Amino acid sequence: MQYLYEGAQALGEIRDGKLSHRLLTGLSLDETIARIAINADGNKDAANNRLYLTDALNSVIAQLADDDNANIQNSYGYSPYGQSQTVGPDSANNPNQYTSRENDNTELYYYRARYYDPVLKRFVSSDPIGLAGGLNTYQYVGGNPLSYVDPRGLDWVYSQSTGQTTHVDSNGNSANVGTGYAGTSNGRNNPAMQNVSNVGPLPRGTYDIGAGHYSSNTGPNTMNLTPKPGTDTLGRDLFRIHGNNAANDASHGCVILGPNIRNQINNSADRVLRVVP
């Protein structure tokens, strides 16, 4: 079986060279709502359509029939680190299970940059960014699988000059997830002014991303940025990722991102931000 992708999001399944299923997805990566079966004539196969019930991690916990009754066809249970067990017959042969990733019967889940083993509770290959993500380069979701997911297995990268926020895959390719800004006045998105307090963008380097919290000044999913050893903040401190204001001038060096991007970052286990020119 192969998958049809738009960017990083799977939108369909291909079997024997033909589209066999369409995947109805939400706004978040790996947020799959329904699996629409396609017959050999290219029409919907309503008997094998399935609606998904998912938990907070987007793991599929039950499949419902796509009819007026929406009866549960089968359900799934998971260990904290994702070992799955099916309850009831899975006549639709559904691969989308833990964190809505594909269970391909190898006991591994592919998180785009590398494979994850729920039995070993770790990735099977080292983090492609090396030690920048922490000393344990095989660790999954920082040891907290009940709260976080790791759909890409990587860290976040923010550009001082463009405001672009990306993930980087194992081949060094970047996937843009959105843009924002850092700094104010002449210092806005101006790397040359990274040393100017309260004006320029936060300095280049690597930062740990704290848990999201609500701030009356900066809104929901405000995340503190703590510089890692070796990052020179040029005498500056108190950097955060947070929301914008009505004047579109909310930064004195902090990273300003929209609510959807902040939500992705906060729900991700990728807790490292690399700031580049």
d(CA 260, CA 219): 13
> Domain residues of the chain, as ranges?
2-104, 156-276
H-state helical runs in 119-267: 259-267
pTM of the model: 0.62
d(CA 109, CA 154): 15
> What is the chain's Cα-based Rg?
21
Looking at the domain that runs over 156-276, which CATH code has it been given? 2.40.440.10
Closest CA to 1 of 11, 10, 14: 14
Give me 147's structure tokens.
């709260």
Print pLDDT tens along the chain (277 aa): 889 988 778 999 999 999 999 999 987 788 999 999 999 888 999 989 999 999 988 999 999 999 989 999 999 999 999 999 888 888 788 999 999 999 877 889 988 878 999 999 999 998 776 665 567 889 887 777 887 777 766 778 899 999 999 876 555 556 788 999 999 999 999 999 999 999 999 999 889 899 999 999 999 999 999 998 778 999 999 999 999 999 999 999 999 999 999 998 888 767 889 898 9
Give me 84's structure tokens.
């799955």
CB contact at 8 A, 52 and 41: no
* First vs last C-alpha separation in the chain: 41
Residue 135, sorted as left (phi over 0), alpha (psi -120 to 50) or beta, turns out to be: alpha
Closest CA to 62 of 47, 51, 78: 51
CA 234 to chain centre: 31
d(CA 193, CA 199): 7
Query: Can you tell me whether residue 246 is helix, strand or coil?
Result: coil
Closest CA to 259 of 154, 184, 178: 178
The pLDDT score that the predictor gives to residue 7 is 76
Give me 210's structure tokens.
């704290």
Closest CA to 29 of 270, 274, 268, 269: 268
Give me 214's structure tokens.
């609500």
